[in-house]
Homo-oligomer: A and B are copies of this chain.
Amino acid sequence: MKSEKISQLTTNRLSIYLRCLKELAGEGQTSVSSDSLADRFHLNSAQIRKDLAYFGEFGIRGVGYDIALLRDHIIKILGLDRSYNLAIIGAGRLGSAVVDYEALRLSSFHVKALFDVDPKKIGKKVGGIVISDLKNFQSVAKKVNIDIAVIAVPAHATPDVFEKIKKAGIKAVLNFAPVRLNADDEMRVRSLDVTSGLENLSYFLTERPQTGERSKPAGKARRSKE
């Protein structure tokens, strides 16, 4: 274990490993080697070992990793052993989809507030959460102690919403709008952007005029980075 700073690539992979370990645990497996993990989930075993080694020595030489133990370690590393309060801004279809997103049900993330500007929506409920007026963002966010803001508003409204989030002192943002947000060092913005996702696929479809080729002769398939 070294005390370097950890790359975001590594922590993103930690999320993947966690998901894989949960799947294995669900199947009743108790132990796994980096090689078999890599085979099964199309990962790279050296990379798994290196990623894990940044945080400690979790494996047993000659044996592998204890699945439940490693899973719990990763949960700790990612900070998933506590609970986070989310505010969703935008009570349209997307915002509502996040509010009752089933994968959040059993997770560390709990939607505590939902905002919109539409007077017809304010006061109504989605998934048990009352829609608040965006005007009151700061006071409501303070009251329920929001850790993470989720931007689910149209592109044109996004910069304003982002300013409100900053002013409220919220440090973490999940952004669905196709808009660049300039965060300072104190904040982290993670964008999940349908537009750039589709543009990336468009490029891929454009750059592959040779459908059906066998790739490199004997090359180990280059791992895609999804």
Which residues does A use to contact B, with CB under 8 Å?
6, 8, 11-12, 14-16, 18-20, 41-42, 77-80, 84, 92-94, 96-98, 100-104, 107-109, 147-148, 154-155, 171-174, 178-183, 185-186, 188-208, 211-212, 215, 221, 224-226
8 Å CB contact of A15 from B41, B173, B196: B196
Q: How far is the CA of A212 from the CA of B186 in the complex (A)?
A: 7
The quantity of this chain's copies bound in the complex is: 2
Residue from the list B15, B180, B221 in contact with A16, Cβ < 8 A: B180
Q: Which residues of B contact A199 (CB under 8 A)?
A: 14-15, 18, 78, 80
Partner of A204, one of B18, B172, B195, B204: B172
A205's contact among B14, B171, B174, B200, by CB below 8 Å, is which?
Answer: B171
Contacts A180-B16, A226-B189; A198 near B84 (Cβ below 8 A): yes
Residues on B with beta carbons closer than 8 Å to the beta carbon of A194: 98, 101, 103-104, 174, 192
Q: Which residues on the B side are within 8 Å of A96 (C-beta)?
A: 93
Which of B79, B180, B191 interacts with A42 by CB under 8 Å?
B180
Please tell me if the beta carbons of A192 and B197 are within 8 angstroms of each other in the complex. Answer: yes
Given contacts A190-B201, A200-B190, contact A97 B103 (CB under 8 A): no
Complex CA gap A97/B176 in Å reads 12
Please name all residues of chain B whose beta carbon is closer than 8 Å to the beta carbon of A205 when the two chains form the complex.
Answer: 79, 84, 147-148, 171-172, 188
